[in-house]
C-alpha cells in the first residue's frame, strides 16, 4: 500500500513542478508582453528601464522664485512623477530616484561634497536597476535669459545621449507656445559626466521668468512636458528596435551600459554642481 501511495503521488509532483516552472517563465516574459503593445515596437523587445531623476530635494531646494517659493525641488518632483506615469503608460518600466522631499548626502554634509554624494547615490540607483536611459528633471535659472522655454542637455562624448536629447527636444518644441530652443552641450555637468547609459538633463522652464514660472506651476503644462519627454524617449527606443535584432538586445540590456558608449572623465575635470 505504501508503494502504491508513492506511485500515485509522483505524477502530481511532476505536474506541480511543471506548473511552477511555467509560472516563473511567465513572470520573466511579463515585461516584454507589456511592451509589445506599444505601436512600432516589436514583440521581442524587452521593456527598458528608464531612471527618472527629480532634481534636488531635501536640504537642497535648487533655484527658488523671488520670495523663496516655489522651490525647484517641488516642481521637479511633480513633473518627475508625471513623467514616470507617462512612461509606464507607454510600456516602459520607470524608476524614480526620489518620491518625496529627500537628498542622499551624509547627515550634516553640505557644499560640493554633499552634492557629489547625492548625485553618486542617484547614479548608483540607476545602475543597480540596469537602467537603459536616465532623465534628470530641473528648472532653469539663468539671469541672462530674456525668454523662457524648455531645454535638454547632453554629454557630447556619448552619441546615444546626443540622439536622446535631440528626440526629447524635438518633442518639447511641439508644445503649444513653447520657445523654440535647441538641445545643448551639457558636458560641464557632473551627472552627465559620470552616467554610463544614455542620459540627459531636461530644464523644464525658467523659474525666475514670470511667464515660465506660471507655466511650471500649472499641472497642465507639467503634464505636457512629461508627455513630450516620454514621447521623445519612446522615439529614441523605437529607432533602436529597428536597428538591432533580438540577440543584440540581450547583450544591450543585460549589462549596464552594455552596447552604449562608456566614457571616463579625468579627475581633474571641472565639477559643476547642478543649480
What is the pLDDT, as a whole number, of residue 117? 94
Rg (CA), the chain: 22
**The three grid cell numbers given for residue 154, joined into one nine-digit string:** 547632453
Q: Is the pLDDT of residue 209 over 60?
A: yes
Band (34; pLDDT cuts 50, 70, 90): very low
Q: Is the pLDDT of residue 273 over 50?
A: no
What is the pLDDT, as a whole number, of residue 64? 85
Which has the closest alpha carbon to 236: 189, 185, 204, 200? 200
Task: Kindly state the average pLDDT of the residues 41-63.
Answer: 85
Beta carbons within 8 Å of 266's beta carbon, 6+ residues apart: none
What is the pLDDT, as a whole number, of residue 39? 54
Report d(CA 24, CA 29) in Å as an integer: 9
Cβ pair 138, 150 in contact under 8 A: no
**The three grid cell numbers given for residue 29, joined into one nine-digit string:** 516574459
Listing from the earlier edge strand, what are the strands of the sheet with 151-154?
Answer: 93-96, 49-54, 133-140, 199-206, 151-154, 184-185
Mean pLDDT, rounded, of the chain: 78
What is the pLDDT, as a whole number, of residue 65? 77
What is the pLDDT, as a whole number, of residue 18? 54
Band (47; pLDDT cuts 50, 70, 90): confident
The domain made up of 48-254 is a member of CATH 3.90.100.10:
no
Condensed to tens digits (0 to 9), the pLDDT of residues 181-192 reads: 999 999 999 999
Condensed to tens digits (0 to 9), the pLDDT of residues 102-111 reads: 999 998 889 9
Q: What is the pTM of this model?
A: 0.74
What is the pLDDT, as a whole number, of residue 44? 56
Condensed to tens digits (0 to 9), the pLDDT of residues 163-182 reads: 999 999 999 999 999 988 99
What is the pLDDT, as a whole number, of residue 43? 58
Condensed to tens digits (0 to 9), the pLDDT of residues 54-99 reads: 999 999 999 887 777 789 999 999 999 999 999 999 999 999 999 9
For helices 159-173 and 219-243, the axis angle rounded to 10 degrees is 140
Task: Kindly state the average pLDDT of the residues 27-36.
Answer: 37
Query: Of residues 92 and 20, which shows the higher confidence score?
Result: 92
Task: Kindly state the average pLDDT of the residues 143-168.
Answer: 92
What is the pLDDT, as a whole number, of residue 272? 31
Condensed to tens digits (0 to 9), the pLDDT of residues 117-146 reads: 999 999 999 999 999 999 999 999 877 777
Percent pLDDT > 90 in the chain is 59
Amino acid at each position: 500500500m505504501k508503494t502504491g501511495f508513492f506511485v500515485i503521488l509522483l505524477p502530481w509532483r511532476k505536474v506541480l513542478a511543471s506548473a511552477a516552472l511555467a509560472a516563473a517563465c511567465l513572470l520573466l516574459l511579463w515585461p516584454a508582453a507589456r511592451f509589445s503593445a506599444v505601436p512600432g515596437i516589436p514583440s521581442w523587445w524587452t521593456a527598458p528601464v528608464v531612471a527618472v531623476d527629480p532634481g534636488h530635494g531635501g536640504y537642497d531646494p535648487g533655484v527658488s522664485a523671488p520670495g523663496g517659493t516655489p522651490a525647484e525641488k517641488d516642481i521637479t518632483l511633480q513633473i518627475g512623477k508625471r513623467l514616470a506615469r507617462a512612461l509606464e503608460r507607454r510600456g516602459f518600466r520607470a524608476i524614480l530616484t526620489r518620491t518625496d522631499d529627500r537628498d542622499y548626502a551624509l547627515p550634516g554634509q553640505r557644499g560640493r561634497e554633499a552634492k557629489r554624494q547625492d548625485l553618486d547615490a542617484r547614479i548608483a540607483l540607476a545602475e543597480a536597476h540596469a537602467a537603459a536611459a536616465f532623465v534628470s528633471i530641473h528648472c532653469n535659472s539663468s539671469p541672462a535669459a530674456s525668454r523662457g522655454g524648455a531645454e535638454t542637455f547632453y554629454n557630447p562624448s556619448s552619441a546615444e545621449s546626443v540622439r536622446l536629447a535631440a528626440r526629447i527636444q524635438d518633442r518639447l518644441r511641439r508644445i503649444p507656445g513653447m520657445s523654440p530652443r535647441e538641445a545643448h552641450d551639457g558636458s560641464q555637468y557632473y551627472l552627465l559626466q559620470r552616467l554610463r547609459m544614455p542620459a540627459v538633463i531636461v530644464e523644464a522652464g525658467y523659474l525666475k521668468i514670470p511667464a515660465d514660472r506660471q507655466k511650471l506651476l500649472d499641472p497642465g503644462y507639467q503634464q505636457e512636458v512629461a508627455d513630450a519627454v516620454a514621447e521623445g524617449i519612446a522615439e529614441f527606443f523605437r529607432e533602436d528596435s529597428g536597428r538591432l535584432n533580438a540577440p543584440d538586445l540581450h547583450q544591450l540590456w543585460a549589462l549596464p551600459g552594455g552596447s552604449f558608449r562608456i566614457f571616463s572623465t579625468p579627475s581633474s575635470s571641472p565639477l559643476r554642481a547642478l543649480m
